[in-house]
């Protein structure tokens, strides 16, 4: 069985509570502006980004209180109801789109610029939640982040980034990242080598924030459990992956489930407008052999519930990075399937966080290599469980080091020279 959590992480975050009391006694009202690719519960919900943001929000609430947190994101409408904090819009545009906006809709461009300045000026810290989007793979998100952080740098606000995967970058993007991130107080990354190789600024490794998301079943996910061994699957379309390739991979997974008499649950992570992962799941379901059960988590459940469902699985096969993180952090054997350099770096980095040999295979050879890799990870179940216990109990303090910089911001202490 996967290892059980014996302590509630948040109930033992004494250092955060002490810091909050210290701020209150000193009469300081530290304000934090958070940036994340989240929407709260709704059609645009993205499991991985929401999982990391949820952990950061809970920690920062303990530190400064809900009233002193503001989330900037592209879809802010459902954030207050989901997380209990205020939210403002921050739309992802490329630099070219932003310049064009000044000519086509100058009023909107001016409003966006002034809103960003206003939110930065009234904040003490700009806190960028975890993500794998500071990369040229997603130019709109990357360039919007850099645009916003350049405003924070101009007004000399403290900038903290956590749980990032940096790169790959184009030469131009790398140069800009080096320039802007050089003035950040903390650049936290979630892989041990790849991100460090992508920039020329100091980075700090810590395990992904979603490792510390508390698993908690919803009524929906608990009802999906049965008596059969459980295989959790997450597929996505990225990096030139075709629908035919996904169907071939699904057929290989179907054969494995049948041979091992496993019930399969498809765990989608992102399905805007009913497309994305759920569209893949429905296509797979149509061709799935009826000899083995196949169910889909539809609608997409909250990240904490999906992590609980993953914890109760016996095996995970995933193209989704955070599905691998959920598995490894709860001691479940997992196989990652990558499609390109970007996804390989992320999936490999997930295993490295836990000190495990990366069990990642490329999409082009997955159909042939998957049975052997599944056999391998199932034989290593105890190793997966030991790694999860070690990280859960040994990596928390390091994961929270970035918060010390928020403490310094509240006290006015100088951390490092800030460029003018």
Q: What is the mean pLDDT of residues 177-204?
A: 96
DSSP notation for 310-376 = HHT-SEEEESSHHHHHHHHHTT--EEEEE-SHHHHHHHHHHHHHTT----EEEGGGHHHHHHHHHHH
Residue 9: which of 329, 346, 347, 407 has the closest Cα?
329
Q: What is the mean pLDDT of residues 5-34?
A: 54
Q: What is the mean pLDDT of residues 327-344?
A: 97
Is domain 219-394 annotated with CATH 3.40.50.2000?
A: yes
Q: Give the per-residue pLDDT at 412.
A: 61
Residue 51: which of 151, 163, 175 has the closest Cα?
163
Q: Which residue has the higher pLDDT, 288 or 22?
A: 288
- Please list the residue range(s) of the chain that carry CATH number 3.40.50.2000: 219-394
Residue 127: which of 395, 401, 406 has the closest Cα?
406
pLDDT per residue as tens digits for the range 41-78: 999 999 999 999 999 999 999 999 999 999 999 999 99
Q: List C-alpha distances in Å: 13 to 5, 60, 101, 162.
A: 15, 11, 45, 18
pLDDT of 24 higher than 50:
no
Q: Give the per-residue pLDDT at 16.
A: 47
Span of 169-173, 303-307, 410-414 with lowest mean pLDDT: 410-414
Q: Give the per-residue pLDDT at 109.
A: 96
Q: How far apart are CA 25 and CA 356, in angstroms?
A: 45
The CATH number, out of the four listed (3.10.20, 2.60.120, 3.40.50, 1.10.10), of the domain defined by the range 10-206+395-411: 3.40.50
pTM of the model: 0.91
pLDDT of 31 higher than 70:
yes
List the Cα angle 155/72/303 in 5-degree steps: 140
Q: What is the mean pLDDT of residues 290-315?
A: 96
Name every residue whose Cβ is closer than 8 Å to that of residue 33 and which is 6 or more positions away in sequence.
Answer: 70, 72, 119, 120, 123, 125, 126, 127
pLDDT of 398 higher than 80:
yes
Percent of the chain clearing pLDDT 90 (strictly above):
86
Q: Give the per-residue pLDDT at 133.
A: 85
Q: Give the per-residue pLDDT at 29.
A: 78
The alpha carbon dihedral of 42, 44, 50, 56 has a sign of negative
Cβ proximity of 396 and 206 under 8 Å: no
Which one-letter DSSP state was computed for residue 46?
Answer: B
Cβ proximity of 98 and 147 under 8 Å: yes
Span of 170-179, 225-234, 408-417 with lowest mean pLDDT: 408-417
Cβ proximity of 384 and 377 under 8 Å: yes
Residue 159: which of 128, 132, 116 has the closest Cα?
128
Residue 250 CA, chain-centre distance (Å), reads: 25
Query: HSE-up of 52 (CA within 13 Å, CB side)?
Result: 31
pLDDT per residue as tens digits for the range 345-389: 999 999 999 999 999 999 999 999 999 999 999 999 999 999 999
Q: Which residue has the higher pLDDT, 356 or 5?
A: 356
Q: How far apart are CA 149 and CA 132, in angstroms?
A: 17
Q: How many CB atoms lie within 10 A of CB 289?
A: 11
Q: Give the per-residue pLDDT at 239.
A: 81
Q: What is the mean pLDDT of residues 139-150?
A: 97
């Amino acid at each position: 069985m996967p290892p059980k959590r014996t302590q509630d992480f948040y109930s033992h975050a004494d250092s955060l509570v002490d810091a909050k009391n210290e701020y209150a006694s000193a009469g300081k009202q530290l304000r934090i502006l958070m940036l994340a690719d989240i929407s709260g519960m709704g059609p645009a919900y993205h499991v991985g980004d929401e999982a990391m943001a949820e952990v950061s929000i809970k920690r920062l609430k303990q530190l400064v209180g809900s009233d002193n947190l503001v989330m900037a994101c592209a879809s802010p409408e459902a954030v207050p109801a989901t997380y209990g904090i205020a939210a403002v819009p921050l739309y992802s545009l490329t630099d070219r789109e932003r310049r064009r906006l000044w000519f086509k809709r100058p009023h909107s461009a001016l409003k966006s610029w002034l809103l960003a300045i206003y939110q930065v000026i009234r904040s003490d810290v700009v806190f960028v939640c975890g993500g794998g989007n500071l990369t040229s793979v997603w130019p709109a998100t990357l360039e919007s982040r850099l645009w916003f952080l350049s405003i924070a740098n101009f007004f000399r606000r403290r900038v903290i980034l956590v749980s990032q995967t940096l790169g790959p970058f184009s030469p131009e993007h790398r140069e800009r990242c080096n320039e802007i991130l050089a003035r950040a107080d903390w650049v936290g990354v979630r892989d041990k080598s790849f991100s460090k190789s992508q920039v020329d600024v100091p980075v700090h490794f810590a395990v992904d924030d979603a490792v510390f998301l508390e698993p908690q079943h919803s009524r929906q996910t608990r009802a999906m459990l049965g008596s059969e061994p459980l295989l959790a699957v997450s597929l996505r379309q990225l990096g030139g992956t075709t629908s035919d390739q996904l169907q071939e991979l699904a057929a290989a997974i179907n054969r494995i489930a049948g041979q091992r008499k496993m019930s399969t649950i498809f765990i989608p992570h992102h399905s805007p407008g009913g497309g994305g992962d759920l569209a893949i799941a429905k296509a797979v379901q149509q061709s799935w052999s009826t000899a083995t059960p196949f169910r889909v988590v539809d609608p997409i459940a909250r990240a904490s519930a999906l992590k609980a469902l993953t914890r109760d699985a016996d095996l995970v096969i995933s193209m989704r990075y955070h599905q691998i993180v959920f598995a490894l952090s709860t001691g479940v054997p997992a196989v990652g399937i990558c499609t390109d350099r970007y996804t390989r770096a992320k999936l490999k980095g997930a295993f490295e966080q836990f000190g495990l040999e990366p069990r990642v295979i490329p999409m082009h050879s997955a159909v042939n290599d998957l049975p052997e890799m599944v056999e391998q990870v199932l034989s290593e179940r105890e190793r997966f469980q030991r790694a999860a216990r070690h990280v859960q109990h040994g990596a928390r303090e390091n994961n929270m080091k970035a918060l010390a910089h928020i403490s310094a911001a509240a006290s006015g202490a100088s951390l490092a020279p800030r460029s003018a």
